[in-house]
Amino acid sequence: MKLSKEVKVGLLATIALTSLYLGFNFLKGRALFSSRNTYYVIYDSSEGLAVSNPVIINGFSVGIVKDIKLLQDEDFKIIVAFEVKKEIKVTDATIAKLISSSLWGGKAIELIISKAGNPLQNHDTIPGAIEKDVTDIFKESAVPVLKNANATILLLNDFITNLSNNKEEVNATFSNLEEATRRLKEIISVNQGNFNTISKNLAKLSTAFFDEKNGLTSLLAKLNRLAGEVEEGRIKKMVEKLSNMLAYIEEALGKANEGEGTLGKLLYNDSLYTNLNNTLADLDKLLIDLRENPKRYIHFSVFGANKKNREQVE
């Protein structure tokens, strides 16, 4: 069966259009032979979202944005249709979050899927949320800084205004400062020679101070050595004296044990004790006789003793 030229042209045009459609969808990221589910989400603003932008879960692409429309009857909100692979189990607890996928302003929809909830059907609507982008974060951070800068500018303006209102005091202050500077220059100029001499003396003193042979280090070493020698001599003499003293005490105790010397005789000689005991007994008898016969030992009279008594005494 022969085909006419018109049929051949029609078939060729149909094949070309079909290939163009499939190629266009393929370039847009749509799967040609795999089935997907379509879901909807409503945002207050699209934030730069475009068709064919990715739909991701934890950074992994699971679909693409299929269509974006403006809802004029609902305060110009944005409804977004997106496709997700059929094997992804989406529940009614899932949130479709609009996020920034790059630093250059690219957008994507991130599905935050919760296992809790009931599975969604094809063409169901998912709650949406919008992540703050870098611009919003920068604005929030910049507002306090701008407020502080504005307050600083106001304080600076007040300061400049006060300076303008007190020109005479400011001029007087600068004049006094200028006069003080001039006097300081004069003092430095007059005493330049003294300053040079002091500087040279300080340099010499510093050199002598840090000299290795005759400086502070050498002096401290000598002092330490001298102190060590003095301390060693004192300790040596003290030890010698203590040794001599202990030897003397040991010798005295040895002699005392042997009965030599006064201490030894007192401790070990019975004759000394006997003589002393006898002497004390005789003294006791004398005191008793003195008490009983005092006239034998004491003669006194107011008018003088008589001759007989004197003769008896003589």
* Count, residues in the chain: 314
- Give the pLDDT score at 127: 93
- Give the pLDDT score at 41: 95
Q: 125 is written with which tokens?
A: 């609507």
Calculate Rg over the CA atoms of the chain: 63
Furthest C-alpha separation in the chain: 212
User: How crowded is the C-beta side of 239, counted as CA atoms within 13 Å?
Assistant: 6
What pLDDT, in 10s, does the model give residues 271-306? 666 777 777 787 878 778 777 877 766 654 444 545
pLDDT at 312 over 60: no
- Answer yes or no: are the C-beta atoms of 258 and 264 closer than 8 Å: yes
What pLDDT, in 10s, does the model give residues 237-275? 776 777 777 777 777 777 666 666 665 655 555 666 677
User: How crowded is the C-beta side of 176, counted as CA atoms within 13 Å?
Assistant: 6
Strand partners, 99: 108
- Give the pLDDT score at 266: 58
- Give the pLDDT score at 299: 55
- Give the pLDDT score at 144: 75
* Euclidean distance between CA atoms 267 and 250, whole angstroms: 17
- Give the pLDDT score at 314: 45
Compute the C-alpha angle 201/205/211, nearest 5°: 145
- Give the pLDDT score at 18: 82
- Give the pLDDT score at 44: 92
Q: In this prediction, what percent of the chain has a pLDDT beyond 90?
A: 21
pLDDT at 128 over 90: yes
| Residue 143 burial (CB count, 10 A) | 10
- Answer yes or no: are the C-beta atoms of 78 and 42 closer than 8 Å: yes
pTM confidence score: 0.39
Multiple choice CATH, 34-131, 1.10.1240, 2.60.40, 2.40.30, 1.20.5:
2.40.30
pLDDT at 189 over 60: yes
